[in-house]
């Protein structure tokens, strides 16, 4: 299985970039142990000048374009399910057992996801009811994916 994080917004700045790169690097050996071929991040920016529904639609097109064909979509949205780390690990394990070859986590823009994403998503998850900057959501998702892999491999990182 390959995992893609597709995000809308400006490219990462130095602090967030370093954190995400660190988690992506740390996931490689755990992923190999779990049969996860890799975790990658694709960042896209919608053209300037779009607003409202036109912006949301274009962002959705960019997110879906980055996703592998046929990959299950997991949308990040503040109205989604607030999963524990263990629940996310279990969910990823279930996808692996179902022989899912690719999965795409989509992080929308400031105005959220449009119907194209909402209709395609097999799951919508949230990092709580607080509003988070999109750069931090990327870091938080990378950390939670790393944590899920440590849970699944019995690594001591997660101490719940």
C-alpha distances out from residue 123 to 16, 82, 151, 157, Å: 26, 11, 21, 26
pLDDT of the residue at 160: 65
Quick one: average pLDDT of 129-134? 86
Quick one: average pLDDT of 128-155? 93
- Per-position DSSP letters for 136-148, written without gaps between them: HHHHHHHHHHHHH
100 in a domain, yes or no? yes
- Domain tally for the chain? 1
160 in a domain, yes or no? no
| Arithmetic mean of pLDDT over the chain | 93
pTM of the predicted model over 0.75: yes
Host domain of residue 131: 2-153
38 in a domain, yes or no? yes
159 in a domain, yes or no? no
Dihedral-angle region of residue 59 (phi above 0 means left; psi in -120 to 50 means alpha; beta otherwise): alpha
C-alpha distances out from residue 62 to 54, 57, 76, 95, 154, Å: 12, 9, 15, 24, 36
114 in a domain, yes or no? yes
The domain that holds 65 is classified in CATH as 3.40.1280.10
């Amino acid at each position: 299985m390959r995992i893609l994080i597709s995000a809308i917004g400006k490219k990462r700045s130095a602090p967030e970039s370093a954190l995400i790169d660190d988690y992506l690097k740390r996931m490689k050996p755990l992923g190999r142990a779990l049969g996860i071929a890799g975790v990658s991040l694709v960042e896209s920016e919608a053209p300037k000048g779009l607003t409202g529904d036109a912006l949301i639609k274009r962002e959705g097109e960019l997110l879906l374009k980055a996703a592998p064909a046929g990959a299950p979509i997991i949308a990040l949205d503040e109205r989604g399910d607030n999963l524990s780390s263990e629940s996310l690990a279990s969910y990823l394990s279930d996808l692996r057992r179902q022989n899912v070859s690719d999965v795409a986590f989509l992080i929308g823009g400031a105005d959220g996801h449009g119907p194209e994403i909402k209709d395609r998503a097999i799951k919508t998850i949230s990092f709580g009811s607080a509003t988070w900057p999109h750069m931090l959501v990327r870091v938080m998702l990378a950390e939670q994916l790393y944590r899920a892999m440590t849970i699944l491999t019995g690594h001591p990182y997660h101490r719940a």
